[in-house]
Amino acid sequence: MRARAAWRSGRVRIGGILVAIVLVAGILAPWLAPHDPEAQDLLALLLPPAWAPGGQAAFPLGTDTLGRCVLSRLIWGARVALYVAILASLGAMILGGVLGHVAGYFGGWVDRLISRAVDVWMSFPPVVLSLVLMVGLGVGINNVVLAIILVDWTRFCRVLRADVLTVMNRDYVTAARLAGFGHVQTIWREVLPATLPLLATLVSLEMGMAVVVEAILSVVGMSVEANVPAWGVMIADSRQAMYQAPWNLILPMVAILVAVLGFNLLGDGLRLALDARQSGARAEAP
Partner 1 sequence: MIATLLRIVLRRLLAAVPILVLVSMMLFGILRLLPVDPAAMSVPPNATREEIETVRRDMGLDRPIPEQYVRWALTLLRGDFGTSIHYRKPVGPLLAETLPATIELALAALVVAGFLGIGGGLGLFHVRGTWKAAVGDLGSTALMSIPSFLWAIILILIFAVAFRAMPVAGRLDMAFARPPGTGFLLLDAILAGRLDLLASAAKHLVLPAFALGLSFSPPIMRVLRSGLHDVYAEDYIRQARLRGLDEGRILIGHAARNAMLPTATLLGVQFGFLFGGTLLVEVLFSFPGMGGLMVEAVRNTDLPVIQAIGLTYCLVVLAVNAVTDIVCLLLDPRLRAN
Structure letter (DSSP) for residue 223: S
191 or 266: whose CB is closer to partner 1? 266
State how far the Cα of 137 lies from the Cα of 144, in Å rounded to an integer: 9
Nearest residue (CB) to partner 1, 43 versus 282: 282
Residue 56 φ/ψ, nearest 5 degrees: -120, 140
Beta carbon nearer to partner 1, 86 or 117: 117
Could you list the beta-strand ranges (E) of the chain.
none
Show contacts with partner 1 in window 209-248 (CB under 8 A): 212, 215-216, 219-222, 235, 239, 242-243, 246
Residue (71 or 134) nearer to partner 1, CB: 134
CA distances from 283 to 11, 246, 273 (A): 17, 45, 10
Beta strands in 43-202 (DSSP E): none
Is residue 264 near partner 1 by the rule CB under 8 A? yes
d(C-alpha 244, C-alpha 70), whole Å: 15
N residues, the chain: 286
First vs last Cα of the chain: how many Å apart?
11
- The residues in 10-29 that bind partner 1, with binding defined as CB under 8 A, are 11
Residue 140 is given by DSSP the state: S
CB of 34 to partner 1, least distance (A): 26
Binding mask 118-157 for partner 1 (x = CB under 8 A): -xx-xxxxxxx--xxxxxxxx-------------------
- Please state the closest distance from residue 12 (CB atom) to partner 1, in A: 12
Quick one: which segment of 45-53, 64-72, 94-102, 117-125 binds partner 1 (CB under 8 A)? 117-125
Site size toward partner 1 (CB under 8 A) is 45
Comparison of 32 and 122: residue with beta carbon closer to partner 1: 122
Q: How far is the CB of 200 from partner 1 (least distance, A)?
A: 17
CB of 64 within 8 A of CB of 70? Answer: yes
In angstroms, what is the minimal distance from the CB of 136 to partner 1?
4
* Amino acid (1-letter code) at residue 118: V
Residues 6+ apart with CB under 8 A from 77: 37, 229, 230, 231, 233, 234, 252, 255
Query: Which parts of this chain interact with partner 1 (CB under 8 A)?
Result: 7, 11, 116, 119-120, 122-128, 131-138, 208, 212, 215-216, 219-222, 235, 239, 242-243, 246, 249-250, 253, 256-257, 260-261, 264-265, 268, 285-286
